[in-house]
Amino acid sequence: MNKITPEEIQNIVCEEILREEVLLKYPSINIDLKWMIFAAMKRYAGRKVAEKDTELKTLTDKCASLLTTISQQQDQLQQAQDGIEEAVTQLEYLDKRFPTGTTPPVVSRLETLVTKLNQPAKEADKDE
């Protein structure tokens, strides 16, 4: 036994509704003309369904694209938040290790090195 798909059921129901509509609207015209009207209405309804399917697919694609964009932006935001949290943790560590007013040893050594490197340049400037 063959199973009837939901699409086939929908088509049968639509055909019956259209057929009933034609018979009720045009009771006095001959049966051939009624079938022609029915066929035209069926084609029109089919085109409208196809148009709506296309619109629905377009909207679905747009929604999928927006969801992808939102997901990517959420990932970027999470990465930024993680980076900020890491920076705050490092700043808190440095603040505890080197209270305000004290210079970390590394900075002192770098300042000394820069001063020593600049001295020969200053002496050369004086010679000129």
Q: How many domains does the chain have?
A: 1
Range of the domain at 13: 6-117
Which of 32-36, 58-62, 78-82, 108-112 is predicted least confidently?
A: 32-36
Q: Which residues contact 31 (CB under 8 A, 6 or more apart)?
A: none
- Asked, for residue 125, whether it belongs to a domain, the answer is no
Q: Residue 127 falls within a domain, yes or no?
A: no
What is the length of the chain?
128
Cα 15 to Cα 28: distance, rounded to the nearest angstrom = 20
Taking the model in full, what pTM does it have?
0.42
The answer to whether residue 126 is domain-embedded is: no
Report the percentage of the chain scoring pLDDT > 70: 79
| pLDDT reported for residue 13 | 73
Q: What is the pLDDT of residue 88?
A: 86
Res. 97 pLDDT band, cuts 50 70 90? confident
67 in any annotated domain = yes
Higher pLDDT, 1 or 15: 15
| pLDDT per position as a tens digit, 7-63 | 777 777 777 776 777 677 767 767 677 677 777 777 777 777 778 888 888 988 998
Residue 1 pLDDT class (50, 70, 90 cuts): low
Classify residue 122: in a domain, yes or no. Answer: no
pLDDT-derived band at 69, boundaries 50, 70, 90:
very high
Q: Return the structure tokens found at 91.
A: 């700043």
CA-CA distance, 10 to 5, in Å (whole number)? 9
Answer yes or no: is 1 within a domain: no
Query: Quick check: is 123 in a domain?
Result: no
